Amino acid sequence: MTAKTLVSELRLRPRRTGLSVSVHVLAIGIALIPIMPVVWVMFTALKDRARAIADPLTPPSELHWENFLEAWNVGKFGGYFVNSVVVAIPTVIIIVVFAMLAAYALARMNFRGKDALFILFMVGLTIPMSVLIIPLFYEMRDLNLLSTPWALILPQVAKQLPFAILLLYSFIRELPGEILDAALIDGCNRRQLLTRIVTPLSTPAMVTLIVFSFMWSWNNFLLPVILIHEDAARTLPVGLNHFRGRYVTDVPMMMAGATITYLPVLLIYLIFQRQFIRGISAGALK
């Protein structure tokens, strides 16, 4: 490197450093935009009523954890939370199992009508739930399933399966064929190939599907508000809506209820964030 080149490099380095700092500051600012509402809700939930109304934007001077206890018991969020768990967990399990079976068959097996079946599944992606809600209500009523967990589980499974199949199908289709062929040569049958080879290799895509399915099921509002008529069977989003109407003046208690509602989804994402990102980016990287 000549002296002239070295001098030019030293002159450019402060500019590059300043640009790098600006980019990092901008990135941090953008990252804070979705975080601030979550922090504000948590801060408000830990204030008393007078402080929340008089000074809504500052952190709490004293932590009032009793707001969460009151929302859990008086606001019936304990029961709503259990109902949401009873709906969300079976929904996720059924979706993952059925989607894996269908995606494996569509991606790695040859049979008559495979392409037509795949197109039929994909048609489900184009149908909004609002179009189906009225006939779905009458169907659940005729089956005596209104105000039961199955009134929410079955429609959610049917609506989310097309996306789940597409996600896993895209991932399984890109798996190295040499590994699967080697397993077949070593004596694996189709069931063993699915359970011992394909499923472990598809873990990132499955974790992504679990996070999406849990989030959609947990936050679902339309189905519970139409198909659940008894207060004891309500899930958290609908319970929070009714709770807001009863305690509209108690802002900290409402925010405590909102925190109870969104916290499980946030924890699920934080636990599985690495696998989730790997599953999302796998298709692009391949």
pLDDT at 248: 60
Same structural domain, 184 and 264: yes
Same structural domain, 25 and 80: no
DSSP 15-30: HHHHHHHHHHHHHHHH
Domain assignment of residue 145, yes or no: yes
Domain assignment of residue 53, yes or no: no
pLDDT at 23: 73
Q: What secondary structure, in 3-state letters, does 87-122 show?
A: HHHHHHHHHHHHHHHHHHHHHHCCCCCHHHHHHHHH
Domain of 212, in residue numbers: 74-285
- What CATH number should be reported for the domain holding residue 189? 1.10.3720.10
List, in order, residues 6 or more apart from 286 with CB less than 8 Å away.
174
Domain assignment of residue 58, yes or no: no
Rg (CA), the chain: 25
Taking Cα atoms as reference points, which of 192, 191, 171 lies closest to residue 99?
171
List, in order, residues 6 or more apart from 1 with CB less than 8 Å away.
9
Domain assignment of residue 67, yes or no: no
Same structural domain, 137 and 235: yes
Same structural domain, 24 and 136: no
Same structural domain, 112 and 12: no
Same structural domain, 88 and 23: no
Domain assignment of residue 222, yes or no: yes
pLDDT at 51: 81
Domain assignment of residue 60, yes or no: no
Q: Which two tokens stand for residue 77?
A: 């969020």
pLDDT at 90: 96
Q: Residue 198 carries which DSSP code?
A: I
pLDDT at 101: 93
> At how many degrees (to 10) do helices 273-285 and 150-173 cross?
50
Q: What is the pLDDT along the chain (286 residues), one digit of tens a residue?
A: 555 554 454 454 555 565 566 777 787 878 778 788 888 888 888 888 888 777 777 888 888 888 888 888 888 888 999 999 999 999 999 999 999 999 999 988 888 888 899 999 999 888 888 888 999 999 999 999 999 999 999 999 999 999 999 999 988 888 887 888 888 887 888 888 888 888 888 888 899 899 999 999 999 999 999 999 888 899 999 888 877 666 566 788 888 888 888 888 888 888 887 777 776 666 544 4
Distance CA 41, CA 71 (A): 14
Taking Cα atoms as reference points, which of 91, 88, 237, 86 lies closest to residue 161?
91
pLDDT at 142: 93
Count of domains for the chain? 2
Cα 235 from chain centre = 16
pTM for this one? 0.83
Say if residue 199 is exposed, middle or buried (CB neighbours under 10 Å; 0-12, 13-18, 19+). Answer: middle
